[in-house]
Chains A and B, each alone.
Chain A
Amino acid sequence: MTEFPQLSLHVPEPAVRPGGQPDFSNVKIAKAGVVPRPEVDVASEEIRDLAYSIIRVLNRDGEAVGPWAGLLSDEELLTGLRNMMKLRAFDARMLMAQRQGKTSFYMQHLGEEAVSCAFRKALRKGDMNFPTYRQAGLLIADDYPMVEMMNQIYSNESDPLRGRQLPIMYSSKEHGFFTISGNLATQYVQAVGWAMASAIKNDTRIAAAWIGDGSTAESDFHSALVFASTYKAPVILNIVNNQWAISTFQGIARGGSGTFAARGLGFGIPALRVDGNDYLAVYAVSSWAAERARRNLGPTLIEYVTYRVGAHSTSDDPSAYRPKTESEAWPLGDPVLRLKKHLIVRGVWSEERHVQAEAEILDEVIQAQKQAEAHGTLHAGGKPSVRDIFEGVYAEMPAHIRRQRQKAGY
């Protein structure tokens, strides 16, 4: 009989913990412009490399280079920058509002603004996103009113969701934004179903599914890939890899797989990995995937490599699980600063105009905030009615819920 050693369990650990020197030497970053841009009807097995590399357009000098560059005009890029700045300013104000006790909870996008803001540009009116809690850029970039978002965050008398949902769990069919659930991964497979429905009806609209690195471990992620692959659903399967799932580093969900994008290869789904902090690269790759979907070529899986600079939410302190200075060491930089630099290099932007734009945007956000607060905040001013607890469970209120509403005094 062969003697084998005792077994031992492998538990992955991040490279560094609090107190250590941030180290991202394990994040292999391709040079901007070097990853080829295949035709949209390419077979997934012909572009396996794209699931392991990182597609980048902006180089260190702020120039747009390579085959994925040249898709957006000055005007479009300036709007993109404004959207990201607006999202950042919105987040800063709402984070402060939460600290002032005006709401119970908040989740910001700091460092990840390019992903949802640039992606929105790849979609058309009528397409549907099935987002997670960190894609408010989809709304901001579609000019959804900030006041409505704040009304929801404050759960005030004008909250479109009547106080029923945790802050930031927006819903807007009109803006192609499916109601956010709050539990994880369920929306991923729903997006595939929406896309299948569009194909069943011979429509032209497409869907976009969203998930974080951590939640790819959920079975709904795998169900979604099976269904998307089997029925060639017109859906873009987005994975936002921001390195951290609350306190858990991405290696716990990824396991031995080289990248999250590589998960798509086993399903025969073209899979691409992109610099999530590069507005131009995010737009280029997502519009490539959107074109595939619109041409009835089926799903595309995209991993956006980015970094969650802030806490997961207002309920955790990142310094308890990662070095405080880790975000400064993140090798893909800041999405707002990178696009700003590019626009300056293009000769259509300047430091002065940027400072001026920041002030204008802050003013716009503060005006919206004043307007929202006139309708109340979580613990002060106008509130949704107690009746709203009982309405809308069903299209028609059944007798037992009516009895309970009466018991509550309404």
Chain B
Amino acid sequence: MARMTMIEAVRSAMDVSMERDDDVVVFGEDVGYFGGVFRCTQGLQAKYGKTRCFDAPISESGIVGTAIGMAAYGLKPCVEIQFADYMYPAYDQITQEAARIRYRSNGDFTCPIVLRMPTGGGIFGGQTHSQSPEALFTHVCGLKVVVPSNPYDAKGLLIAAIEDPDPVMFLEPKRLYNGPFDGHHEKPVTPWSKHDLGEVPEGHYSIPIGKAEIRRPGSAVTVIAYGTMVHVALAAADEMGIDAEVIDLRSLLPLDLDTIVQSVAKTGRCVMVHEATLTSGYGAEVVALVQEHCFYHLEAPVVRVTGWDTPYPHAQEWDYFPGPARVGRALAEVMEA
């Protein structure tokens, strides 16, 4: 075991995968010589050569389009979109190509690609470096969508994603790269070295895509979260002294519905938390499933805590980011109902 940041864990996942399988290639904007703007691919070009880890032109549709062609050939490309906010030029390639190649060719061709992309806010990135576009992927049949919340999961899930026979959108909450951020921006940053889930095996292991994890068992209310919001939810539960059960979804598509249903059936109360905007957000799907499967167990209306339905602002970041105070108020509201 080693102490790793999420950046190091992600890098280790690619390193292990490239070592084991010559067909794994890594490319994207600034990922080659420099090692990526977040340094996730640092050292990979030096170790594996520039035909397996290289810089790409600033063209997301080109990056994803060529990755699809490489996958059709038989490679396993793991590419970086520099920020999730930059993926829109590739959206056609992702939704109408990558997601459907297996289906439309009846398995004659497949598309085993991974698109890694830093996601979410908390770094004063403004509207074009803070977005959480996961719902734009979960709406697309044929994709898998993964959002890790810690280094241990990030490595195991990324290895699983690279080994998956279908396209995986791998959203890395950038505010978690260096530590388990719980929304208390005024406090000093806690490093991953002080967190249990910063303990990461150096070799190969994988975590199955589609399995949630209960981060905090409880009996009073179920909080469903993923990515950065897992840590915010844990902080809110502690600070409010509420016996909340916090579920870290880890994989949004496919979704571990069983874990959710079991928990809500037990607690009878549910709060859904995400950083992305509210309307038609991923929480809407989860909440619909909760009412469909747990209606007769519910003792209070299900509440969502999310980013506002506005672009992500710059100066007002902490009034936009759904921090522990807002999550705490939602917990109290659901408990009182």
Contacts and interface: CB of A to CB of B under 8 A. Distances in A.
B273 interface: no
Given A171-B106, A227-B59, A398-B254, A193 B66 contact: yes
A165 B101 CA distance: 11
A394 B165 CA distance: 8
A193 B67 contact: yes
B166 A394 contact: yes
Contact of A179 (B61, B105, B142): B105
Contact of A226 (B51, B59, B67): B59
Contacts of A190: 65-66, 68-69, 72, 97
Given A186-B93, A200-B25, A194 B105 contact: no
A181 B100 CA distance: 9
Interface stretch (B33-41, B107-115, B219-227, B317-325): B107-115
Contacts, number: 136
B109 A196 contact: no
Interface string A120-139: 00000000101000000000
Nearest to A173: B108
A391 to B, nearest CB: 8
A200 B89 CA distance: 25
Nearest to B141: A393
Nearest to B67: A193
A219 interface: yes
Given A161-B105, A186-B65, A394-B166, A227 B70 contact: no
A196 B96 contact: no
A211 interface: no
B168 to A, nearest CB: 11
A198 interface: yes
A146 interface: no
Contact of A181 (B97, B107, B210): B97
Given A196-B69, A394-B166, A161 B109 contact: no
Interface residues on B, range: 35 or more
Contacts of A224: 62, 65
A195 B109 CA distance: 16
B166 A395 contact: yes
B102 A394 contact: yes
Contacts of B255: 400
Interface of A: 128, 130, 160-162, 164-165, 169, 171-173, 178-179, 181, 183, 186, 188-201, 207, 219-220, 223-224, 226-227, 230, 392-395, 398-401
12 contacts: A160-B108, A164-B104, A172-B108, A183-B96, A193-B73, A194-B69, A194-B73, A200-B70, A201-B73, A230-B57, A393-B103, A400-B254
Given A171-B106, A188-B65, A193-B73, 17 more contacts: A128-B73, A162-B106, A164-B103, A165-B104, A173-B105, A178-B72, A191-B69, A192-B66, A193-B66, A193-B70, A197-B74, A200-B52, A219-B89, A223-B65, A226-B59, A392-B107, A393-B141
